[in-house]
C-alpha cells in the first residue's frame, strides 16, 4: 500500500513538472515568434538589397537566384546537419 505522504509528494512533483513544461513551451513559442519576425525583416532587407545591387551591378554573382540559393543551402545545411551530414 502506498503511503499517502509519498503519493502527495509525487502529485506535487508532477504538478511542478507540468508547470515547468508549460513555461518551457511558452518560452519556445516566444522564441519562435521572434525568429519568424526576424526572418520577415531579413527577407524584406534582402529583396531591397538585391534590387539595388541589380541596378548598380547587374552581372554581380548575387543577382542570380541560383547562386543565392546555393549559398543559402550551404549555410542551412551547416546549421541543420552540422557534422552529421552524410549526403
Per-residue model confidence (pLDDT) at position 56: 98
Percent of the chain with pLDDT over 70: 92
Total domains, the chain: 2
Residues 34 and 9 in one domain: yes
> Which domain, by its residues, includes 65?
58-87
Asked whether the beta carbons of 53 and 62 are under 8 A apart, the reply is yes
How far apart are alpha carbons 15 and 9 in whole angstroms? 10
Q: How high is the pLDDT of residue 85?
A: 56
pTM here is 0.69
Is residue 1 domain-shared with residue 32, that is, in the same domain? yes
Output 65 or 1, whichever has higher pLDDT.
Answer: 65
Tens digit of pLDDT for each residue in 22-45?
A: 999 999 999 999 999 999 999 999
pLDDT over 60 (residue 1) = no
What is the signed CA dihedral for 44, 46, 48, 54, rounded to 10 degrees?
-160
In angstroms, the CA 54 to CA 71 distance is: 18
Amino acid at each position: 500500500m502506498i503511503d499517502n505522504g509519498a503519493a502527495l509528494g509525487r502529485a506535487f512533483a508532477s504538478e511542478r513538472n507540468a508547470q515547468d513544461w508549460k513555461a518551457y513551451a511558452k518560452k519556445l513559442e516566444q522564441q519562435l515568434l521572434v525568429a519568424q519576425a526576424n526572418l520577415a525583416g531579413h527577407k524584406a532587407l534582402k529583396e531591397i538589397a538585391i534590387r539595388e545591387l541589380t541596378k548598380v551591378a547587374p552581372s554581380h554573382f548575387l543577382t542570380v537566384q541560383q547562386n543565392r540559393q546555393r549559398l543559402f543551402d550551404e549555410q542551412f545545411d551547416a546549421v541543420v546537419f552540422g557534422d552529421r551530414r552524410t549526403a
